[in-house]
Every structure is written in structure tokens, then in C-alpha cells.
Chains A and B, each alone.
Chain A
Amino acid sequence: MAPSESVGTTAETGLPRGTPAPGCVLDRDLANELWRDCGAAEWGLTHDEFDQILLEAGTAQNFGRNVSAAQAAATGKQQAEFFRELRIADLVLARACAGGNERAWKRFLAVYRQPLTRAAIAIAGNETLGRDLADQLYAELYGLNLREGQRRCPLLSYRGRGSLMGWLRTTLAQRHVDHYRRTRREEPIEEIDVPAPDPPPQMPARELSLLERAIAQAVSSCEAEERYLLAAYYLDEQTLLQIARVLGVHEATVSRKLRRAKKEIRKQILKHLERSGLSRRAAEETMGADSRDVDVDLKNLLQTSQSEAFQEQAAT
């Protein structure tokens, strides 16, 4: 399948004009096939508008290619592979809405208005808060917020990976969590119960310090999935079913992985203790120390990421 025609320059469509790479062309047959599949003609999108959206979306993500290959034009096969992984119908609708297309907005409201409100209520756990949350997101989606004098629509950040409804739900959840975290810090502390002083530890301080160090090393050496399971289960107190739905696995699988993670951590702790000079028996006795005597902040340990992927991305 060879690119045949460039659709990079179209008439005024009201859509945000992207900046396609020079010489970027869209395969006509692929565009026609995607046009038929997405059903955009049902709500009034023209073929030219559709092509423009595809071209801008593909250019923005370099058709899924590496940065080093950005200079070369994407072949028809690369374009096909890229677009077939995307939710084209949702992507086109989101981009058309972001561009201010009235027909697209009518379609968006007809399809997503009520589900979005229900999702907001479910996330907030309260109908009033949920409706406020949904209205606030609508205001943002409609582009009422201005940044540097220009209308800024969050829908532009949707790139077609996953469903548009899922993206809307996740966006709602982000706003709700951010709002909750922000307002939680502002809540006054009415009473502060001074905890009773801890009794003196029964285990020598040396063993305890060895134990704390071994725990930190064992937890930090956990794999990403184990760390997520431990954090979600013990810190966030999510149920096995909730974790299973996020990971897309069965509930029993989560339980099994959790059990295996705990076993591995215990094994690693014993190994670190023995490596520190304790005998096997002494290490096991140290493992039986009262948890209140161990000064370990598991939350901090688990929240310390060994990967800098998103930090690097943020820096870039």
C-alpha cells in the first residue's frame, strides 16, 4: 500500500491546525477504510476534516515510530499499524470537539453527557460532588479555560490509546484525587492524641537495626508488579478484586502473586540478615521481633521508585 495523495492541506474546517511534517502524506486507501469504519459521516464530519485529523494525530505521535525515524516519511504499512491500534472514531470525535466543531459537540453530548455524569458521581461517591466534578470537566473540555490567551481543550491530549470514555473517567478521577489531596491538607486537626511512649525494646538494638536495613533492601529490590501489589493491597487497602480489574487478571492470580511476593521478601530479609553476620537461628529470631520495635516506614519504602522514567519524561 503506497501513499498516493497528500491531504495535509485542506480548506478551513474549524479544526485546530496542526503542523504536519513536510512531505507527510496519508495513504488514501487507508484513509477511506478508516473513514468507513469510524462512522464519522453519521454526525456530519466531512472527509477532508477526517483526513486532517488523522494527519495531525499521526504527525503528533510520529506514527508510533522512534524519534530517530521521525525525519523519514511513514510508509503506508507503518501508518496502518499505527492507526489500527487507535480508537479512530473516538479520536476523530475528540479532535473535532477540540477544534470547536458544533456537530461533533452535539454528538459528544449525546453520547457522553450522561455516562460522564454518572462516572463522576461514582468517583466522588456523592451526587452533588459528582455533578460539580462533571460540570467542571465540561467547562474545561469546552475550552473555557484560556492559557496564554488561547483556548485550551483537554481533549487535545487524547491520542486514541484506549477509549474516550475511559479517558474521561480517568481525567475525572485525576481531578477528584487532586482536589481531595489538596483539600485534605487544609482540614484542621481537631484533636491530637499524644501516643503513649513505646516500651523499651526487648531485642538488642544491633539486631533491630540489621532488621530495618534488611527490610529496606528487600522491599526496594521488589519488582514493579510486586511493589504495586503490595502498595495497592497494604497501603491503599484495595481489594483483590479491584486490583485484579486494574491488572486485567483473575482475583486468584492477584492473591497468588501477593503470597509469592511476601514469601520472597521474607526470604530476602533472612538472606540479608545472614549476610550481616547473624546465624540462621539468630536471623529467624530477629524476624520474630515485635513490629512496633522496628522503625520501618513501609510507605516510604514502597513509594521510592527505582525507575526514573516519568521523572525523565517530565524533565524533557
Chain B
Amino acid sequence: MSATSQHGFHPDAESLNAFAEQALRDRERAEVLEHLGVCARCRQVVALARGAADASTVRTAARPRKIAAARPWWNGWQVAWVPAAALAATAALAVYVHMRNVERSAEMAKLEPQAVAPSARTPGNASHEDHAESVPPASVAPAPPAPAAKQEHSRAAKQPAEEESQFVTADAPQEPGTQYSGADNQIEVMRKAQPLSSAEAQQAPSRPGSATGGPAYSQPAAAAWETEQKQAEEQRQEQADASRVRSTTLKPAPAAVRRGNQLAPPAGASTDTVSAAPPAFMPRLLPDQPAGSAGISSERPGSHPIKPIHLPSGLAVVSSTSTGAIVVAVDKAGTLFLSEDRGGTWERVKTQWTGHAVAVRQLFATNGAMQSAPAAHDGTAPGASGNVSPAPPSSVILELFNDKNQAWVSTDGRIWTSK
């Protein structure tokens, strides 16, 4: 060993420290170890130095721990941030997509009535409107839509009001499968409702799953009141199945039977007419939806069939209703016309309301309480579905709505007061 002793017979601090730090070669280590075996002083020196080193190590090790404890808590989550951020991003994306869908559907529900309002208020257009609304926005453009359903759907969205007004007036031939597929114009149905021959009924395609009903209004209206009540009950049960109704609206409408220069509803179409009231799940256009807006004329059963409406303005009828001999109708311009001879002659009613008249309907005052003709809440159409109070109405009040959903009421159709 080359170490020089500092204290006589003892190894120097260098050797002792190197021994404690395991830095000596084997031979030198054995020599130091042999000395330590017999030298209490050097053993004590080594033990003290080693103890001080351990204390320093503990202090040094404790310091970073304290520093680490002083670090912000999120520093220890560096690895966890990655999945957390991915999760948050996924959640944000899902919320965004959901909100966008909700927004789009609300926007469509908002825009469609406005876009078709001038013309869609015609009873004939209501079926297309119902179709458009019955299909949620996400399913407006389904991936593999049935061709006929797609065609009908696009047609419902793009069909011009002119064509629909022609349907109402029934002057022009209608495109097959467009008029009788949804909530139909009961006026037109009633006007055209003649008993079909058995041959015609067999020719006309019946809607799958629907009852093979004959023309609902082939009997005299007064005599058919009770019958219609029963039919209404049956139709309510049928309409309880919303999916069935929805699929019905998406199915291609049965071809209309051409009768002369006019189109007659096919045999199954009469059933469609009856069951075409908006189902319960359909959103309502207005808080208190007028009958006309639903495309259903609120003519009471039992009244005489009215003539085709030809308003003096020459515009299409947006909404109309009749109480016996009195018929009121709103044209596309928002003008209200009154006829006291079941549509024979028309006179313009002086505007006593604000805004743009868009719909008229009738309320039945039974025992002092007014009841809306269309049972809008149960989704059935008045008159058409027959979902009215079984008690005969004691008096009829006409109700007019403007484009701001404000209502005016009248008993004679001439004098209107704000509701």
C-alpha cells in the first residue's frame, strides 16, 4: 500500500475514505480492513465519516422531496393529461355535434313553416309539411333512402305553392302520389269523395297494413256522424303506433286514380285522409296550431259539402273553415273572405287584426267552455279524424290567427275581436 500514514500507524484519511467509498483495490482494501479490525480509532473515524455521509445523503434526498412537494399538483399529472385531453376533446366534439343537430333541427322547424307559410297553409300542402316535419333533420338525407320515399320527400320540400293551390282548386291534373299521401285536404277529399266502384277500388293500390276502407265521406255527412266517431276511434288506435304513421308518410303514396280530368284519391287514400292527422310526436308549428295550418279543413261533419273555393282575389287558399252556410277562408295574401252561401259568393272581410292572417278555425262552445275544433294535442285532425267532442256543439266561434300567432275571434265571420 502506498498510503502514507498521517497519524503514525494509522492509514491516512485518503485511504480510509477510499475504503468507505469502495474505491480501493483488493489488496489495499484487505490491508485497510485488517487495520480496522485491530484499530478502534480508525473504526470510529470510518464510522463517523460514514454516518455524516449518510446524514448528508438523507438531507439531500429529503430536499428534492420537499421541492417536489412544493411543485404544483398538476405537474405530477403530465402523463395523465394526454388521455384526459383526448377524453375532453371527444366529449366536446360529441356536445358540439349534438348541439349542432339540435340547432339544425330547430332551424329547420323554424324555417320550413316560414318558407312554405304563404302556400303551405293550403290544406293540400299540409301533408307535405307534415312529411317534412315527421322526418327528423338527421334523417332528411338518409344514406339509403327508398327511391320513392326520397322522391316524395324532395317533392314535399320543393313543390311550388302554385301546384298545391291547383290541387286545392282541383283545376289542374295533379301529379300522382302527391296529394293523398299525408294529411290531406279534406275539402278536396270530400269534394271528390264518391263511392268508388269495386273495380276502381281493386285497381287502386291499397296502402299496406291499412284498413281497406272505402271512401270515408261517401255517405251523407249527417248520417255518417256516428259512423265517423267509430272510425275515429279505430284511427286513433292506428295512430298510436307512431312509427307506423311515420313509415306511412315515407312510403310512396298510392297512385291517384284519374277520373276524367281530375284525380280521385285511390281507395287506400281515403284511409290516408282519415289517418293523416299529425301524430302525437310531431312538433307543433304553433303553440296553438290552427286547423288550417295542419291542412285540415275544420268543417264540421254534418254540414253540406262546400263548393270549390274560388276567392275573388284569385289567390290560393291558405286556410278555411265553415260553420254550416258560413265559410271563411284566408288567401295567400292574408285576406279573409266570407261566404254565407257555402262558397257561392265571397266578400272580403275588413281587416280588424294586425299582421298577416294565416289561418282560421272554429271553436265549439260547449256548456260555456270553448273547445278547439282540431284536437291539436292528441294529434288528430278535427273533422278528418273526427276527434271532437261527442257532444254536439251548441255554438261555433271562429278564430283567426295572424303570422305572430295572435288570435281574434268572431261569431259571424265579419266582426273580429282580439282574443
Residues A173-200 near B (CB distance < 8 A): 173-174, 176-178, 181
Number of residues in B with C-beta < 8 Å to the partner?
Answer: 50
Which residues of chain A come closer than 8 Å to B50, judged between CB atoms?
A: 242, 245-246
Residues A201-223 near B (CB distance < 8 A): 222
Q: With contacts A161-B23, A228-B37, A303-B40 known, what are 15 further pairs, Cβ within 8 A?
A: A122-B52, A122-B55, A157-B12, A158-B14, A162-B18, A162-B21, A162-B23, A169-B49, A174-B45, A181-B41, A231-B37, A242-B51, A248-B22, A305-B35, A314-B9
Question: Which residues on A are within 8 Å of B, measured CB to CB?
Answer: 61, 85, 115, 118-120, 122-123, 157-159, 161-163, 165-167, 169-174, 176-178, 181, 222, 224-228, 230-232, 235-236, 238, 242, 245-246, 248, 302-307, 309-311, 313-314
User: Provided the pairs A167-B14, A224-B30, A309-B1 are in contact, do residues A246 and B23 lie with their beta carbons within 8 angstroms?
Assistant: no
Which residues of chain A come closer than 8 Å to B4, judged between CB atoms?
A: 157, 313
User: Provided the pairs A174-B7, A178-B7 are in contact, do residues A228 and B36 lie with their beta carbons within 8 angstroms?
Assistant: yes
Kindly name the residue among A119, A174, A228, A310 whose own CB sees the greatest number of chain B CB atoms within 10 A: A310
Which residues of chain A come closer than 8 Å to B22, judged between CB atoms?
A: 248
Question: Which residues on B are within 8 Å of A, measured CB to CB?
Answer: 1-24, 30-31, 33-41, 43-56, 59
Which residues of chain B come closer than 8 Å to A159, judged between CB atoms?
A: 14
Which residues of chain B come closer than 8 Å to A306, judged between CB atoms?
A: 34
Which residues of chain B come closer than 8 Å to A230, judged between CB atoms?
A: 37
Which residue of B is nearest A62, CB measured? Answer: B2
In the complex, A49 Cα to B20 Cα: how many Å? 31
A309 touches B35 (CB 8 A): yes
In the complex, A165 Cα to B43 Cα: how many Å? 19
Report the minimum CB–CB distance from B46 to chain A (whole Å): 5
Which residue of B is nearest A67, CB measured? Answer: B2
Kindly name the residue among A163, A245, A313 whose own CB sees the greatest number of chain B CB atoms within 10 A: A313
Report the minimum CB–CB distance from B21 to chain A (whole Å): 4
Which residue of A is nearest B28, CB measured? Answer: A161
Kindly list the 9 A-B residue pairs having the minimum CB-CB distance in the complex, ordered from nearest. A227-B37, A224-B34, A305-B38, A228-B37, A173-B48, A162-B18, A161-B18, A122-B52, A170-B17
In the complex, A109 Cα to B146 Cα: how many Å? 89
In the complex, A222 Cα to B37 Cα: how many Å? 10
In the complex, A123 Cα to B14 Cα: how many Å? 18
